[in-house]
Structure 1
Amino acid sequence: MQYWKALRLLVQFKGLTVTYFTRHSENAFALGLVIAMAVGGSAQADTTTTLRFGAISDDFLGRTEQYGILAFDGVSISTSTRVGRLAFDLTLGDTFENEAVDSVLIFGDVGYRFGNDNWQVGVGQFERHWSPSEYTSLILSRNAPAFPSVYIRKEEARTSDVPVLRWIGPWNGEVFIGQTDDANQPDNALILGMRLGFEPIRDLEIELVRVAQYGGAGQPDGFDTFLDVLVGNSNEGDSAPANQIAGVGASYRFGPETFSNRIYGQAVGEDEAGGLPSCFFFLYGLENKSRLFNADTTITLEHVDTTVDFSTAGFCGPNTAYNNDVYSYRNEGVVMGAAIGSESRSTSLRGKHEFDTWALDWNVGKFTINDASNPNHSLSSTRETGTVVSVGASTQVWGGTLQGIVAHQSFDLDTAEQDSGVRIGVNFSRSF
């Protein structure tokens, strides 16, 4: 049986030490369930169980980023239980194609809701997607396996009752601290993440995001280092090895929700200069929602560019994105941001059509991967160009959801072990 890696979050302040330490996943979740039963008292448990099976003949670029780790790959059983204000979610299983995902425990979360059920604090291992784009995030996406973390999250966007904060409009956000695992960084490296989303003007949504990696074997991880990383003071001193990525995303919608156009973009910097991000890379897109062929339809044109130019002072340059002298921006060897990785570009046209009894989605994308031919690139040791085309469909059958997909990738990715050619996948899930 696979276990979570130890997660140790050490905070020291004026002689007070608080340590949160979990060793084995089953211990943490069993404890959470016991607490849920105790605190919930006479509250009735509301439980949903989902069985899922998926298989694909070969993986292709962007599958996990768009559909998630378990789509068309692996077998799993998930349970979601609510007892009073406590939530307990667990997914056990295994993936067939994606060897980066630990078998047995894939996702897990124990959380406590408060503040009219709009806030949750907990410990979990689950997918995050921080972006105005439905498909791609430059900072945290579904591309890499989930990592364990402790967090506090405001889920639904609501306007604050505090007068000085009312101007930002409805807002939500999250702060977490967790642990990633990769061969190209110190063992037990920590990761700090912060996200704030708000809507100061109707239909204008803004998202501020920041992630910092620090600590781990052989690296400073005391409270002073934590404070330096928290405020972004990481260009000198003990916190100098820290790796930070931060930026902003925004979207604006024209027209009603069901028939509208939306423009969006995200820009994040891999380095810090003068207290602000630098060495930027970008994504931007245009989304249209309408009624086409008697189906609710969404068409999205999106461009992602992780190439970075040299600054006027000679900093930044090729292979800056997702690279650092001490920390890799990867979990289990997979980039936690955009699926294309560093020094790459993609332009994709995507569509989704929701018919009465079934749904259709498709994607046509043009890619340039590892434009600088960096031999240590996460996907390919040489520059590769080509296309990825996919068509998927889903329908309700046998009391569950049946999905199928056909995809063609025209180029090889040797490091990711993805060959060119056609692949066929199927996925079935049913909830009880």
Structure 2
Amino acid sequence: MRAVYMGVILTELASHRADRRRHATALAPAAFVLAALFVSPLVAADPWLAPGDLTLRHDLQLLADAGIVKGPVTTWPISWPDVARDTLGADAQLSANSALAAALMRVQRRARAASALGTDGIEYEAALASEPIQLRHFGDTPREDAELGLRASWLGTRFAANLQVAVVADPADDQELRLDGSYVGVTLGNFMVSAGAMERWWGPGYEGSLILSNNARPIPSITVERNYTDPFKSRWLSWIGPWRASIALGRAEGSDVALPNTRFFAARVNFKPRAWLELGLTRTAQWCGDGRPCSLGTFGDLLLGRDNRSDSLTINQEPGNQMAGYDFRLRSPWRAVPLAVYGQFIGEDEAGGLPSKFLGLLGGEVWGSSAWGSYRVHAEFADTACSFSRATPEFGCAYRNGLYPQGYTYRTRTIGHSMDQDSRMYSLGATLVRPQGDTVNALLRKTNLNRDGGNNFLSSGPVEIKNIELQYSRALWSGQLAVGLGYDDASNDAVSSDVRGFLNWRQPL
């Protein structure tokens, strides 16, 4: 992959330290006072669908599998203009499937609001959590014990901006004031160029992405993304089908890590050569950093793959640390059979110019409708040991490297799968979406953390965790309510067994 855009990286968010107990006690009453006082429609003008909304993901996948949404849907954020073009021209009345018609109407309603020019005002969000979940999945859940935020967005014909400010209590990374989700962007041809800190989820998994997920907070980046997924017109390339491309250049922490001022590069191409087959190619890299080479030539060597000591380079000459790999989602070609399998394979090393020492994720899903609404059930397996498919995998390899002692992390969290290295997860999840949009999610997981007893960020030693998660979300008055309850049963004291829960409320001022 070649870089198509370089620019000044967004300045690192400033750290704000204060008394943690004072903020925790102040945020809780403020959240409920605000929730009781204000009622009006939710703000929604936005050029992107951010990851985290399980209802929206379910609806989009239903529409994609039905052939209504044409473009790939495993690269988040997803372009709203592309989705709006496909869905607003479709007629829900023509569908004999009531669940599909309900999903289409829900997405159409969101698409119209997201396409409205100007701004609809200010939205606030308040969340409380007891023992916030550490093994994060696609769903948006609170990161800290208490969070209170404001959001204001503006959408023009070419420009878009979103300001999102949050105050959190007892943060793990000591940043109590956060701008996560904020951005400014401009449309140039069929591309959106933006600067900001946006959540990303690259890959088909529900419980994790091996290379770029929402486990870590978003890295401030300059990003170039394709707006519309139109196929190539050339007869030589038209076989690729609808395609999406994203490239990001970001800056990690400026302090508080072993090697500060590391740059982060991420690129992904996602395409559908057939209506029932979606493919993805992804590559990320850490480069620069205090005392490390950081020129354009260094970046060129990185892009060309000249970054191993086998290329006659010393450790001080290596341009950076890279990960790369492939993913797929294969739906049954017969739409009467609602079944799909998916997978992701990410290499921690390179051999012969191609990724090697793969981490792996495999899953399958079925969907349909009932008297209660539309549903989706998925089963997923993930393994974060290198060469995961071998009888004896390589431990101590994934998300670690000799150049960056902090590993493949941002703000103390792994950028890839939330399990961190040398772990294995089995999961079974179900989603039920009622016609009016009420959503119930249930999740069972068994996770073997830190199987080799090495340097894992979540556990100091091997431990098996069995956990159950239940979540419910719905529109209420003029806001959106989400509640969750979970339990972790740990096999030993390396990780504590906990009951946890959260309450999240969004509403405009």
Q: What is the CA distance between 1:70 and its match in structure 2? A: 5.7
Partner of 1:76: 149
| SS at structure 1 position matched to 2:169 | coil
TM-score w.r.t. structure 1 length? Answer: 0.84
CA distance 1:271–1:102, change in 2 (3 Å): same
Amino acid at match of 1:264: Y
Q: How does 1:270-349 map onto structure 2 within 5 Å? A: 270-309=348-387, 317-327=394-404, 328-349=407-428
Do 1:73 and 1:98's aligned partners in 2 also have CA atoms closer than 8 Å? no
Q: Deviations over 1:344-369 (max 9, x none)?
A: 00000001101134221010000100
Q: How does 1:25-44 map to 2 (within 5 A)?
A: none
TM-score (norm 2): 0.71
Shift of 1:276: 0.9
Match for 1:20: what amino acid?
A: V
Aligned residue for 1:92? 165
**2:104 corresponds to:** none
CA contact (8 A) 1:405 1:424 kept: yes
State the match for 2:187 in structure 1: 113
Higher normalized helix content (fraction of residues): 2
The answer to whether the 8 A contact 2:368-2:375 is kept is: yes
Of 361, 365, 372 in structure 1, the residue corresponding to residue 441 of structure 2 is: 361
What is the distance in 2 between the residues matched to 1:282 and 1:387? 20
Q: Decide whether aligned partners of structure 1 residues 98 and 282 sit closer, same or farther in structure 2, where only a CA change above 3 A counts.
A: farther
After superposition, give the CA deviation of every residue in 1:334-392 in whole Å (9 maximum; x if it has no partner): 00110111000000000110113422101000010000001x31111111102110111
How far residue 60 of structure 1 moved from its aligned partner, in angstroms, is 2.4
Q: Which amino acid aligns with 1:411?
A: A
Query: Distance in 2 between the 1:378 and 1:420 partners?
Result: 17
Distance 1:401 1:325, change over 3 A: same
My pick for the range that moved more, 46-55 or 86-95, is 46-55
Q: Between Structure 1 and Structure 2, how many residues are aligned?
A: 394
What SS does the aligned partner of 2:230 have? strand
Q: Which ranges of structure 2 fall in alignment gaps of 5 or more residues?
A: 15-115
Contact 1:185 1:326 in 2 (8 A): no
In structure 1, C-alpha distance between the alignment counterparts of 2:182 and 2:125, rounded to whole Å: 16
1:225 to 298, 303, 309: 298
With over 3 angstroms needed to count, the CA separation of the structure-2 counterparts of 1:132 and 1:22, relative to structure 1, is closer
Partner of residue 386, structure 1 = 465
Task: Name the residue aligned to 1:234.
Answer: 307
Matched position secondary structure for 2:301: helix
Cα offset, 1:67, TM superposition: 2.0
2:113 aligns with none
Q: Which residue of 2 aligns with 1:29?
A: none
Q: Give per-residue Cα distances to partners, 1:296-320, cap 9 Å, x unaligned.
A: 10101000111224999xx982021
* Preserved CA contact (<8 Å) 1:379 1:414: no
> Which of 138, 141, 160 is the aligned partner of 2:210?
138
Structure 1 ranges of 4+ moved more than 6 A: 256-259, 412-415
Q: Look up the equivalent residue of 2:201 and give its one-letter code.
A: H
CA 192–423 in structure 1, closer or farther in 2 if over 3 Å, else same? same
Aligned to 1:175: 247
Helix, strand or coil at the partner of 2:139: helix
1:156-175 matches, within 5 Å, as 156-175=228-247
Pair 1:266–1:150, CA change in 2 (3 A): same
Equivalent pair of 1:404/1:425 in contact (CA under 8 Å) = yes
Residue 421 of structure 1 aligns with an amino acid whose one-letter code is D
Q: Tell me the distance in 2 between the aligned counterparts of 1:44 and 1:354.
A: 29
Give the letter for the 2:422 counterpart.
E
SS in structure 1 of the partner of residue 298 of structure 2: helix
* Structure 2 counterpart of 1:45: 118
Q: Structure 1 residues 63, 281: closer, same or farther in 2, change over 3 A?
A: closer
Q: Which amino acid aligns with 2:327?
A: G
Q: Deviations over 1:65-109 (max 9, x none)?
A: 532556985111111111231010121012336423733222211
| Structure 1 counterpart of 2:33 | none
172 and 101 in structure 1: CA distance in 2 versus 1, 3 angstrom threshold: farther
2:450 equivalent to 1:370: yes
Does the C-alpha gap of structure 1 residues 319 and 60 become closer, same or farther in structure 2, counting only changes over 3 Å? same
Alpha-carbon separation, structure 2, partners of 1:345 and 1:331: 22
Distance 1:145 1:47 in 2: 27
Q: CA deviation at 1:61?
A: 2.9
Larger relative contact order (Cα-Cα within 8 Å, sequence gap ≥ 6): 2
Aligned to 1:246: 324
Q: Could you give the per-residue CA deviations for residues 211-249 of structure 1, whole angstroms, max 9, x where no partner exists?
A: 011111010011111001012110143652611100000
Higher strand share goes to which structure? Answer: 1
Opposite residue 166 of structure 1, the aligned amino acid is S
**Which stretch shows the higher mean deviation, 59-68 or 328-337?**
59-68
Amino acid at match of 1:396: A
Q: For residues 70 and 76 of structure 1, what CA distance do their matches in structure 2 show?
A: 13
